Every structure is written in C-alpha cells, then in structure tokens.
Structure 1
Amino acid sequence: MFRHPRLSTLLAGLLLAGCTAQIHQLPQAAKQQPLPDGLRADVAVLETTDLHSNVLSYDYYKQKADPTLGFERTVTLIRKARDQFTNSLLFDAGDTIQGSVLADYQAQVNRVECGQELAIYKAMDAIGYDGGTIGNHEFNYGLTFLSQVTGTPMNVEDGTTQHCAGPHYPLVLANVYSTRDDQPIFKPWTIVNRNIAAFTPDGSKVSVPLKIAIIGFTPPPIMQWDKQNLEGKVKVTGVVEAAQKYMPDIRAQHPDLVIAILHGGLNTAPYTPDMENGGWYLAGVPGIDVLLLGHEHTEFPGPRFAHMQQVDDTRGFVRGVPAVMGGFFGKDLGVIRLALVREQGRWTIDKSKTFSQVQPICPPMLVGGKPTVSPSNCVLPDPQIPLVVGNVQQAAVDYVNTPIGQSTVRMSTYFADEGDMSALAPVNAAEIDYVRDALNTAHPDLANAPVLAAAAAFRNGFGGPDDYTDVLPGALTLRSAADLYFYPNTLSAVKVDGAELKAWLEKSAERFNRIDPHATGEQPLINEKFPGFNFDQIQGGVSYVIDVSKPAGLRIEQLRYHDKPITPSQIFVVVTNNYRASGGGRFPGLDGHNIVLAAPDGTREILAEWLKSHPTLSADDLPRASWHFARLKTRGTVVFTSASDKQPVAEADDLHTIRQLRDNGDGTAVYAIDLAH
C-alpha cells in the first residue's frame, strides 16, 4: 500500500495497462543500432536498507513474534511490487549483517564457515537482488569476518584471500581503501545489465537493454566508530571525493543510468570529507541519476525532511535527483518509479512522472482520526524465507536462553529518559568492576583514580512500543544480557578531568528540550532530534542535577563525587564503549586521543560474566540512580511518550511524579511528568 494513494492509483493504471500488451523483441540487426527516440519505459527501483539481520518477524528479547518488522514481510512487498511493475531493480543500502541475536550467533558464537552463507544473505538471494553496498555496522565484527561472509578477498591485515560464500549479487564500495596498496577493499562500482520492457510511440511493447552503473558509499566516521577493527588497515575518503574520483571511469562505460547507493542520509550543514550523512552533497555530483539512502533509520520521502532546501519531501527528490530511504529492520520497502524516455540517443528521466514512496509492511490505520500502526494490518510473511533460514534460527534462540543467574529486580528502559536507571545500572557496574581490575596492570598510574561508567538506553522506543528493554525478576539468561546491552560494542575507558566530565554530561543533556515554566500548553520533554543512544548516564559515585529550563550547555548542576563538588582539574577514568570513546556522537573531548584502555572483550560479554558472578542479583548489587531533574514549577504540562500502561513500573522505581495522560491506541501512551517535586 503506497502512502500517496493518488499517485499510486495513477501508476497502477499505467503499468497494469502496459502489462497486457504483447512484447516484441527488437530484430537482431536493430539491437546493433541506436535505440529510436520516443521510447518510454517505467522502471521501479526498489530498496531495502538497515535490515540489521532481522530476517524473521521475531523479537529475540521478548521471545515472541513481532509482525511489525522482518525481512520475510518485506519480501511480500517486493513480490507485490514486481507483479505491479513491468520492470524493477532491487538494491540494498547496507547495515545488513549485524543487529540481531541471529547475527551475533553466526558471527560470534557458532561462526559460519567459509563455505556457508549467512542467513540474511541466503534470504536475500532467495528473492534476488541486483546490487548493494556496505554500511557502517558491517565492520563491527572485523575485517576477517566481513571479508569472509561477503565473499570478498581483501589485501588488508586481518582480511582473507579465500573466496568464501557470499551473497549472489555485487557489493560496491567506493570510499574505503586498503592501507597496503591504496586499492578499494570492494569493487567501487560495477555495471548491471538488464533487459526491460519499453513502449514505442505507437504503443508497441518491445524488449530493450538497459545498462546500469552502481556505486556505493559508507559513512566516513567508521574510522572512529570501529577504530579497533580498522585503524592502520584501511582508510576512508569523503563520499563526494570518492564519487568524483570514479565518475569519469563510469561515464566511459556509457551507462544508461548511474545509481548511487549511500549508507547515509541527508545533511545540509557545510560539507566535510568526514560527514556522516552526505547524501545532499552526493546528489550534487554531476552524472548521478538516482540516489538510494539509509543509515538514519527513517523514511524518505517523509516529513522529517520538510523544509530542507532543494529537497522535495513529498515526491522524493534531492537537488533534482530521485531518491528514497526505505526505513529499517525490514519495516518498509523503498520504491522509486522512474519514468524513462529516449531522447537524442539516450535515456532521460521524465521528472514530471517520476516519484518516490516508502511502502510499510504495516500500513497505518486511522484510529480516532490518527494514523496508527496495528499488527493486525501487517502484510503476511513470505513462506519461503523461514525455510531458507533453516535450523540456525532455533539454534540462536536456544543459545540466548542459556541460564546465567537470577534477579530480584526489574530492569527496564520505559522511563530511562526520566531517571529510571535500573537497566543501565548493571551495565555500569559490570564495566566499573572490569576496568578497576584491568587498570592495576594496564595503567598502574591510574590504579587509584576514580572509575566511573557511562551507559545509554539503546532500546528506548524508537522502533515502536515493543522497542524497550524489560528484564523481569526471575531467571536471567544470555538473552537478558543481550537485551540490557543491545550492540556488540567493545569496552573502552578514557581519562578525563572534571571540566571534560561536565562537558560530557552537558552534551548528553541535549536529549531534552528547553522547558519554559511560563508556557501554558503541553511541552514535550524529549528532543527527538537527539538520539536516545547518545543520552549517556554516568554512575560510580558521581551525582548531578539536570535543569531543563536552562539552555543546552548550561544544564548540569551540583556535579559531585561522593558528595564533594568536582573540580575542573580532578582526574577520572570513565568507562564507555569503543563507539563513544572514538568520537561517536561528537561528544566534546572524545575523539580517541584520551583512551587509556581498549579492551578486546565485548561489553555484552563482560556484562554476562558479571551477572554470572552475582547469581542472585538484588538492588544492593546495583549503583543507585545518579541524577534527577532540577525542581521546576510549570504552568503547562510537560509530556513524553512511552509504552502504554507502564505507570506501575515508574511507581516501583520511585518515579512518583509520572502519570499516564492518554493512550495513543498503538501500544504507546502520553505521560506527564511533574518537575516541581
């Protein structure tokens, strides 16, 4: 179901009418001659992105089906699109092999062998792709694994020279090079040749060749985010520089279309070669005809990009280039309808008849006049995909159910933004204990330094009402550890002074909007433009207050360590993950220069071992919440959104100032928080 029904109806009529015509093959002699002007063809460019190895519609943490996500349902949309469109191409924009329990199982627990194909790639091959690129999370498991599972020998340290099983479609990546020979580690671009159905001016349907060039890009900040995997082994260039480097070679092949596949989004800030979301600038490189986007876990076209200059957020154009970003986790399929016309001996895009859309696997329903996602309205999964995955799904489920202990406390993130640190406390406690032991040998000079830890709620509702961590009292399993710490980061520790610690917390406090105590209407507490995974909450003897009435940068008050004011020159060791320590999130003072410990162990594994060492976890084993909001009497109501009917969870965690205002009917609810008490 398209989100623009008027355009969809028009398109369906055009295409279905064309499907009834008889196809004529052009004579062999004609194939050797230039195609005649006046030909027209509609080509659908289909895109998935940020699948994160969500092959099936399943929540590994809650151990139940989740019909609102999963590639098996995206496949249903792909098949429908192929039935609807006479001509189609299918591409993937990266972040494909990492992000689920199934992915971790195949990478870290029972690693696939050289001759085995990853489950996600097997599923994608079952439907058939025309090409793809590499996202930043592809590098999380290291170059050895990436080289193996993509079937790409690499002349890099930790690469493999073997030709192992990989996806049955070409992967292209133009902006990552080996430091050994300055050569790209993947093919930077390639040519895809397809035959398409076209129409002559008299309405005859003919089969003609179409030559498509594809070029791929990943976010340049991978060198910071995966420093331990990439430093000294590869180097990265900006996406614009990479495109400009290879466009002459691409043009020399005289393709009919050039499709740029970028694992990145749109940003109109001044361009730099390390820009994370450089799609707006990439669209300005001459010769690029189509732009496929990703990484931002949102949809384009869509309202998030309204009012961005030279961007049509309704029809899906970026600086005049047709573009699409097809959501994440298999929740959507991106579709660009290209209207091609043959003019002056070449195919051109008729922009008046070209548009982009994002098709959801769960089309919203109107409930009380408001669009609402209901699991009952989701498309059915494709029956072939579970068969392709086979026994590895059950093996992954069995693995995460391995018992590791018991807990007497509930650990959740429903109200992590409002001060409930129950799910962050075990992560911080495990990290502090690990680093205190490690510093004795790795950094004796810091053995007596105060050790703090910073953690953020990774599952904070961004993906919907089920996207929260909620570990109930009772048995703890490896699944519990994976739920408490969602990403396969490794642990890092940095040396900071008191001024840098305060700057870290000020950056984190940008998670909140500035609240006007005199405003009479509702005011949203959360700044949705600041990701929840960047709201670091620091524990380990530190305490502080956040005043949301103050402007960003001036919100942290009463910063203390063991009840004593922290001085600007006071030294601390703060434990975090490799992403943050190396510059992820652009926190002040965190760019990799002050890392004092880069552990080889994953944070999730460290947490699992810590939980095993506390076989009956109680509140006494966990550090207390370290911060609260400054008291603020407001005339209007301060509101935020969380999963519905969770007020008892807030009450149990002493957040008595939170009350549910109204149920949204989609599994979420609006809550009020009283900042005056």
Structure 2
Amino acid sequence: MAHRSYLPALAAALFLAGCASQPHPAEQPRTQPLPDGLRADVAVLETTDLHSNILSYDYYKQKADPTLGFERTVTLIRKAREQFTNSLLFDAGDTIQGSVLADYQAQVHKVDCSEELAIYKAMDAVGYDGGTLGNHEFNYGLPFLSQVTGTPMNVDGGAAQRCAGPHYPLVLANVYSTRDGKPIVQPWTVVTRQMAAFTPDGSKISVPLKIAIIGFTPPPIMQWDKQHLEGKVTVTGVVEAAQKYLPEIQAQHPDLVIAILHGGMNTSPYTPDMENGGWHLAGVPGIDVLLMGHEHTDFPGPRFEHMQDVDDEHGFVRGVPAVMGGFFGKDLGVIRLALVRQQNHWAIDKNKTFSQVWPICPPMLIKGKPTVTPSNCVPADPQVSLVVGKVQQSAIDYVNTPIGQNTVRMSSYFADEGDMSALAPVNAAQIDDAKRELLTSHPELANTPVLAAAAAFRNGFGGSDDYTDVQAGPLTLRNAADLYFYPNTLSAVKIDSATLKAWLEKSAERFNRIDPNADGEQQLINAKYPGFNFDQIQGGISYLIDVSKPVGQRIEKLRYQGKPVQPSQTFVVVTNNYRASGGGRFPGLDGSNIVLASPDGTREILADWLKAHPTLSADDLPRASWHFARLKTRGAVVFTSASDKQAVAEADGLRDVRQLRDNGDGTAVYAIDLSH
C-alpha cells in the first residue's frame, strides 16, 4: 500500500468536485513468492460515531467549538499518514445522523439521488478504505439509508437505482431483508493495497496486502428503530454473523481480516441480541483486528482497565489488536500493526503492535488536573469547510426556526439551590415520551408511576457564561439545546422505593455537610461532585434535603402524590442512557433494570414537546419537587453563580438568596438562608 500524501491544492479540488480521493498508484505485480522475514508496519486508522459533525461548530449555540469536528480529525489523519509509510482508514458507523446538518439533509431539505451527503463528501475527499453502518444509520428509515449509501436494497422503499453514495465500500453482515433473506448491504469485501515492506537486510520493496473487512451493527436496532425495520429486515448476533461468513472470507486467502463493529465490549455471557459484543467477537477464530465504536468512549482507555482478557495498556482484546476512537470527531483511533512474513503468510508481531487514541485536543495539566482547553486543539483542515458550502448556512437558518412561545424564564443559575425552571420542561418531555412508549413495549407497567430525572448540565463549571438561560419570548431549536446540552438518548429504569431514595441520596452528595454552629462562611456546593450528577426527580414526588446530615442520610419526607413512599412501591424513572447504564455509579443503576432504551435523543424529544406546547406557561411545567430542610446557621451558607442574578432567583421563588459580593469575573458569591 503506497503512502497517500494529502496535498492541499488537490484536496481542495476534490472537495469542490465531491470526488473520491485518487486511487493508489498502479504497481507491477510481483511474480516471486514473498520471502520469510519481511516486515511491515501498517497504521490502521479509525473514525467512529462522527454523527455528521463535519465542522467544529455548534449549530445550537451558533459559535465555533474547536473540541469536536471531522475537520480536525482530518488533521490527525494527515499527521498519521505522514508518520506511517503504510496506512488504512476505516469508519465504524453512526456517520450520517446526529447533527443539525444531518437532520437538515435528511428531513428538511432531503438530498436528491444525484447528490452525495456532505459527510460522505468530506470522507471521500480524505480517502477511506471501508466502513460499516451503526445503529443511527437506520434512524431516517431504510429508503433514505439505501439512497445515501448508494446501495440498492431489496426492502420496502429501498432504492432500485444506485444513487450517489460514499466512494468506499460499506459492509454489514448481520442485517437481512425479509424478502429474500440476503444481507441488505454486502456482508464483507476484500480490498488490496500496495505497501512498503523491508527485507531482513533492510531493502525496501513494494508488496500487495489483501485485506478482508466485515461489518456489524448492534442487534437492538430492531427495538430502537422498530417503526422503520419491523417486517422489513431481520438481525442476527455479531458472533453468529462472523461465524457464517468467515469461511467465505478465508476462501479468498486474505492477508488480514478486519472486523468493523459498531459496538463496544461487554463480558457478560453472550446473547445474540447483545448490544456491545466486541469482547465476544474478538474470540471468534479468524479475526485479526477489531475496530469498535458506539459507546462514545476510547479504547484503550480507563473504562476498560480491569476488564477480563483485555490489555488496556497496549490495546488488545482477547489477544486481538483493537481500538475505539471516541466520537464526534474528537479522536482518531490508531493501531500500529507490526507485520512479519512467516511460513508464506503475514503474521502480527504482538510484541511490537499497539493501539492508541489520538485526541484532537490533547489535555493539558492545569493545577495538576488533565484539562481540555480549546487553545490546545489541533487546527482544522482548511479545506474541509468547502464541502458543506451553502448547506451550512441553510442548516443554521433551520436551527433558528421558531418552535413556539415561552412565557416563563427558564434558567440554571440557581438549579443547585432549588430553582427547577430549566429542568421542568426536560422532565415533562421525558415523562410524556416514556409513557407513550411503555404503553406498547411494557403494557404490564401501565399502572406504575412514571417519574423523570434531570440534571443541570450547565451549572457554571465553565465560567460565568456556562448557564442555561431561556428568557420569555420566541422559542427556537437553539433553546432546546440550551435546556438539554448533551446528545444523550432517553432511557427508563424500573426501580423500587429503596433505590429511588438511594438515587436521591447519591445526588445530594452535591452539597457539603453544613455545621449549623460554625461562625464563618460555609460553602454549600461540594466542588468535587459534578453538577451533572445532581439529578432532580419530578413526576408527583416531593422530598427535602437536609445538608446538616452526613452523606447517605439527607433525604427526608419522601412522598408520592402527598403520601409517604412505601417500601413496596415501584417506579419507572426516565433518565438518559448514560445514567441508566451506570454512569455516575448510582446505586442500583447498572443497565440491568432498563425497561426502555430509546434511540431518540433527549434534546430532540424535548424539542418535539416544546412544539406541542406552542405557548409554554408555568401551568405546563411540573412544580419544583424538593427544598432544603430548615436549618438555622450562625454563619452564612454561600455559593457562587453568575453575578447580578438575584432578581432571577426571587422571580423563581428563591427569596432567601442574596448576592454578597461580585468576584469581578462575571461571577458573584451569594448567601442562602436555610432557616425558612
């Protein structure tokens, strides 16, 4: 495989033309057998979960965001190609959905058959060797997927003609049409690339490398996109699909077999509907390299540090080199694959092979803590923005489309102190959506109370501007993003009353223990406990938080519909996928009690809910569910928020909050009187 240089002038022309990268230069085939002892290093590069984040831009906030974006990943790709003589580039899915631009091209101004999606144009100009489909590829339905991938599918609504799609092969082995039982996308393919290799005496020669790729998507797509897939396709487990097609692949005598899995790792006993089957897939004989995604995290990375048969230092899963390259273009997965020729075939030298995840924003040590700062991010490739052209501005105009009117101010300046105005619409939307879904998916839960949990994601951690503030007036999609900052999906768990209380107790760790007899100022907020873990639950419950009590003993007078919660009661609590699957290490939340896992983003669910309430008023929102227990203190209990916002607190019912002093940086110190 010849090294592919990335020449700006050529790249610009390719972006403007929307063409694929230039093919590898022709090589004269070797007629002599390759000698044993040959060595070659091949960089296997991976992007995953790009979610159509082409530019480093926040469409909701309408400003640059240098911490994400494919245009910066391209800079790392170029760096890797300069560093490694031989390289291959693959994508592990969740590519075409997930940004305003993606929604615009799929739902607002749908691309024509002759027009390639912007994300695929960008990827083609860089030059990919293959990819697979993630679960979010199915969000817009099979007709759209068939069209934009350039893949005629024998399914209802599938494109009969080949439309404009990516100029690299897509493979998917575990999704089949119900019409003919055949894969809707080719399950595997073989690509051959020339590469530089070195003989034992140091001579450099060019040799062919025959690479087979096979792709997999998460089997739960049948649940997540039931409305698009039921009756049209069937899905098998990833292990079964690999075992089915590996004999065919081996018959082609490839030098390497690379499995591209849109999924992560789970060491639980294998089931065919397992969402994250990477650990089990790595154990299937015949797979040489594993590329993963879906979990929006890094491998190697600390999340997998103690996983059985996983080398988190060098990047091996059950002896197979593996990588998972983050999400949103924040990272590039890199496997340095050391190959050696032995007994007339290529083998992987595992002692010299390792995986890494390269971030576009390498963290800096600030006060001893690794911190990502925009100033430390790699620059964007200057040509990538050419690919979006006019559609970029069109998407911006779209996100400014009005979705209603608001008569109440919703802010998070005092969310830690009991102002739930910014959380109430989130919780209301979550409850409404979950109730609808549970009617069909879990009718046995029809009489179970449905609650919802939300946290203030923007709570001042990033400075004086890091607060949600949606003022009365017109509502747009940008406001929905302000109210729900992260791209989580909606999940719901079934829990008992003990778990409900433990959930609230864990959340209450947000506060320091206050000594009522102390003379000096006491900080209310525990700075070591992140605000995004301070879940506030609504839906008919009420409770008090006593900050004078130790951790684990702070929740008092927990009631549902005015009556004390009983030990025998059960609840469904709607939250996000992060929390439901164990994020934050909340007691009783480990993914085992999930009763609803929606593919829909909570932000989008909220936007739809706001549209359904075109003139939003306080009557549409649930009341605040908690207050601090009364506590008379000798000294002041203080906290920090944006300066000059005391009137906001008072308007939202927090009349015991007063500003003490301005810090001169846009923030101020406030005192809260807990005695009332």
* Contact 1:485-1:603 within 8 A present in 2 as well: no
Q: Which residue of 1 aligns with 2:392?
A: 393
Q: Does residue 341 of the first structure (1) align with residue 353 of the second (2)?
A: no
- Secondary structure at the aligned position of 1:115 is classed as coil
- Residue 478 of structure 1 and its aligned partner are, at CA, apart by 2.5
Q: Which residue of 1 aligns with 2:452?
A: 454
Q: Which residue of 2 aligns with 1:606?
A: 608
* Contact 2:141-2:228 within 8 A present in 1 as well: yes
CA pair 135-459 structure 1, distance change in 2 beyond 3 A: farther
The C-alpha deviation readout for 1:571-612, integer Å capped at 9, x for no partner, is: 99999999999xx985747269xx9xx9xx973453242453
- Secondary structure at the aligned position of 1:210 is classed as strand
Q: Distance in 1 between matches of 2:463 and 2:371?
A: 12
- Residue 224 of structure 1 and its aligned partner are, at CA, apart by 2.2
Q: Distance in 2 between matches of 1:345 and 1:467?
A: 63
Q: Which residue of 2 aligns with 1:98?
A: 97
* Contact 2:509-2:529 within 8 A present in 1 as well: no
- Secondary structure at the aligned position of 1:391 is classed as helix
Q: What is the correspondence of 1:284-363 to structure 2 with a 5 Å cutoff? A: 284-363=283-362
- Residue 153 of structure 1 and its aligned partner are, at CA, apart by 2.0
The C-alpha deviation readout for 1:255-304, integer Å capped at 9, x for no partner, is: 10111111111222222222222211111111111111111211111222
- Secondary structure at the aligned position of 1:269 is classed as coil
Q: AA paired with 2:614?
A: K
* Contact 2:404-2:611 within 8 A present in 1 as well: no
Q: Distance in 2 between matches of 1:311 and 1:337?
A: 17
Q: Which residue of 2 aligns with 1:20?
A: none
* Contact 2:92-2:262 within 8 A present in 1 as well: yes
* Contact 1:57-1:65 within 8 A present in 2 as well: yes
Q: Which residue of 2 aligns with 1:281?
A: 280
Aligned-residue CA RMSD (Å)? 5.2
- Secondary structure at the aligned position of 2:351 is classed as helix
- Residue 556 of structure 1 and its aligned partner are, at CA, apart by 8.8
Among 463, 470, 473, the alignment partner of 1:472 is 470
* Contact 1:513-1:525 within 8 A present in 2 as well: no
* Contact 1:225-1:578 within 8 A present in 2 as well: no
Q: Distance in 1 between matches of 2:557 and 2:249?
A: 59
CA pair 307-100 structure 1, distance change in 2 beyond 3 A: same
Q: What is the correspondence of 1:573-592 to structure 2 with a 5 Å cutoff? A: 586=591, 588=593, 590=595
**Mind listing any 5+ residue stretches in structure 2 that lack a counterpart?**
1-24, 516-524, 581-588, 633-638
* Contact 2:299-2:356 within 8 A present in 1 as well: yes
* Contact 1:151-1:167 within 8 A present in 2 as well: yes
Q: What is the correspondence of 1:502-521 to structure 2 with a 5 Å cutoff? A: 502=497, 505=500
- Residue 561 of structure 1 and its aligned partner are, at CA, apart by 4.3
Q: Which residue of 2 aligns with 1:259?
A: 258
CA pair 313-567 structure 1, distance change in 2 beyond 3 A: closer
- Residue 230 of structure 1 and its aligned partner are, at CA, apart by 2.2
* Contact 1:506-1:555 within 8 A present in 2 as well: no
- Residue 383 of structure 1 and its aligned partner are, at CA, apart by 1.1
* Contact 2:172-2:214 within 8 A present in 1 as well: yes
Q: Which residue of 1 aligns with 2:636?
A: none
* Contact 2:414-2:641 within 8 A present in 1 as well: no
Q: What is the correspondence of 1:34-113 to structure 2 with a 5 Å cutoff? A: 34-113=33-112
Q: AA paired with 2:452?
A: A
Q: Distance in 1 between matches of 2:67 and 2:261?
A: 25
- Residue 219 of structure 1 and its aligned partner are, at CA, apart by 1.7
Q: Which residue of 2 aligns with 1:10?
A: none
The C-alpha deviation readout for 1:371-428, integer Å capped at 9, x for no partner, is: 2222111111111111111111111111111234554655456887996643332244
* Contact 1:510-1:527 within 8 A present in 2 as well: no
Q: Which residue of 1 aligns with 2:623?
A: 624
- Residue 338 of structure 1 and its aligned partner are, at CA, apart by 0.7
Q: Distance in 1 between matches of 2:655 and 2:144?
A: 44
The C-alpha deviation readout for 1:625-652, integer Å capped at 9, x for no partner, is: 235689999xxxxxx9xxx966988993
* Contact 2:193-2:208 within 8 A present in 1 as well: yes
CA pair 42-491 structure 1, distance change in 2 beyond 3 A: closer
Q: AA paired with 1:272?
A: T
CA pair 607-589 structure 1, distance change in 2 beyond 3 A: closer
The C-alpha deviation readout for 1:121-166, integer Å capped at 9, x for no partner, is: 1111111111111112222222222222112222223433332221
Q: AA paired with 1:612?
A: P
The C-alpha deviation readout for 1:529-562, integer Å capped at 9, x for no partner, is: xx97xx986544343579999999x999856443
Q: What is the correspondence of 1:216-255 to structure 2 with a 5 Å cutoff? A: 216-255=215-254
Q: AA paired with 1:36?
A: P
Q: Distance in 1 between matches of 2:433 and 2:27?
A: 70
The count of aligned residue pairs is 616
The C-alpha deviation readout for 1:490-532, integer Å capped at 9, x for no partner, is: 999x9x9xx97859957966975999999x9x9998699xx97
* Contact 1:505-1:556 within 8 A present in 2 as well: no
- Residue 48 of structure 1 and its aligned partner are, at CA, apart by 0.7
TM-score (norm 2): 0.75
CA pair 572-588 structure 1, distance change in 2 beyond 3 A: closer
CA pair 152-517 structure 1, distance change in 2 beyond 3 A: same
TM-score (norm 1): 0.75
The C-alpha deviation readout for 1:101-121, integer Å capped at 9, x for no partner, is: 111111221122222211111
